[in-house]
A = this chain, B = another copy of it.
Amino acid sequence: MARLQLKEGQAMLVSRAHQEENSQIKIKGCVIGGEQIVVVAGPCAVENEEIMKETAFKVRGSGAHMLRAGAYKPRTSPYSFQGLGEQGLKILARVGEEMNMPVVTEIMDAEDIPAVSEYADILQVGARNMQNFSLLKKLGKINKPVVLKRGMSATIEEWLMAAEYILAGGNNQLILCERGIRSAEPWTRNTLDLAAVGMVKELSHLPVLVDPSHATGVRSLVAPMARAAVAAGADGIMVEVHPHPEKALSDGDQSLTPKGFSQLMREIEPLARAMGRRLR
């Protein structure tokens, strides 16, 4: 039986056999899955309003389209900074509105769906929750775009099946995001799997973003991997930017400075054009 078939002659919702043309997810003025390479940028976590504003101002100035930051943080240790919660959501929403940028933030608990939906434009399911099927089922019932990150060691099939949980619930505003998989390589945090991007674009109509920050965990590799993502056919990138990475409460090692981000945007632009797409 062909991939992504439910049974002979019945294709899964996620598959190109079910929908041939690319899905386009419209969020305020932005379209993910269209001609434009969409850039989502921001700090790992909402730390306070000042840093959030400074980051937003600068990444917008360099051409970022959307803002990202976590209010609920999935941290390995219970003693690490867990995020500002609803207070963080409010800061993010205010800054997004002020800067006229849609905002993306992580949802970790189904209980928080109402609050996160109120403040955010896109709800993100993190790698650790990719197979939290209870959460996926509930996200299938809302009328908000969702970004589904690939799990730590998920196969492409498992990732697409997780997406199918959301589509099957009735929510087709779905965006995938490749963020690296576990490997034995110790010099990078994860191994960015760009072939998965190529494979998903072939098998599915859903838009695919790439997160080169979590995928590598190494600041100097973010730009090369962002460029490679565009060349591989990704529809956009999600990048961590912090005005003072050395003081960041989390993920400082992989965060670009605003200046580094500006340089990244200049590097991506000609590649987007070479791919027949546009950055602005």
- Are A165 and B128 in contact, with the CB atoms below 8 A? no
Q: Within 8 Å CB of A109, what residues of B?
A: 110, 134
A111, CB-defined interface residue at 8 Å = yes
Q: A216-B195, A224-B232, A231-B227 are in contact. Are A187 and B157 (CB under 8 A)?
A: yes
Selected from B75, B111, B181, the residue in CB contact (under 8 A) with A110 is: B111
Which residues of B lie under 8 Å from residue A198 when comparing CB positions? 216, 220-221, 224-225
Of residues 229 through 253 on chain A, the ones whose CB sits less than 8 Å from some CB of chain B are 229-233
- B187→A183 contact, CB < 8 A: no
Contact call A199/B183, Cβ cutoff below 8 A:
no
Query: Which of B132, B221, B229 contacts A132, CB < 8 Å?
Result: B132
A185 touches B194 (CB 8 A): no
A153 in contact (CB, < 8 A): yes
By the criterion of a CB under 8 Å from any partner CB, how many residues of chain A are at the interface?
A: 69
The verdict on A231 contacting B271 (CB below 8 Å), with A109-B134, A151-B152 known, is yes
Among candidates B153, B183, B220, B274, residue contacting A273 with C-beta atoms closer than 8 Å:
B274
Asked if residues A195 and B181 are in contact (CB atoms below 8 Å), the reply is: no
Report yes or no: B224 in contact with A197, Cβ–Cβ below 8 A: yes
Residue of B at shortest CB range from A7? B79
Residues of B within 8 A of A6 (CB): 79
Report the minimal beta-carbon distance from A12 to chain B, rounded to whole angstroms.
8
Which residue of chain B is the closest to A153 with respect to CB atoms?
Answer: B153
Q: For residue A132, which residue of chain B has the nearest CB?
A: B132
Q: For the complex, is A168 an interface residue (Cβ under 8 Å from B)?
A: yes
The answer on a CB contact under 8 Å between B132 and A194 is: no
C-alpha gap A10/B62 in the complex (Å): 41
Is A186 at the interface (CB under 8 A from chain B)?
A: yes
Report how far A187 CA is from B70 CA in the complex, Å. Answer: 30
Instruction: Say whether A71 faces chain B, with CB atoms less than 8 Å apart.
Output: no
The answer on a CB contact under 8 Å between A194 and B192 is yes
B156 & A185 in contact (Cβ 8 Å cutoff)? yes
Q: Which residues of B contact A191 (CB under 8 A)?
A: 181, 183, 191, 193, 195
Residue A74 lies at the interface, judged by CB distance under 8 Å to chain B:
yes
Question: What are 7 A-B contacts defined by CB distance under 8 Å?
Answer: A194-B225, A194-B228, A224-B232, A228-B232, A231-B231, A271-B275, A274-B274
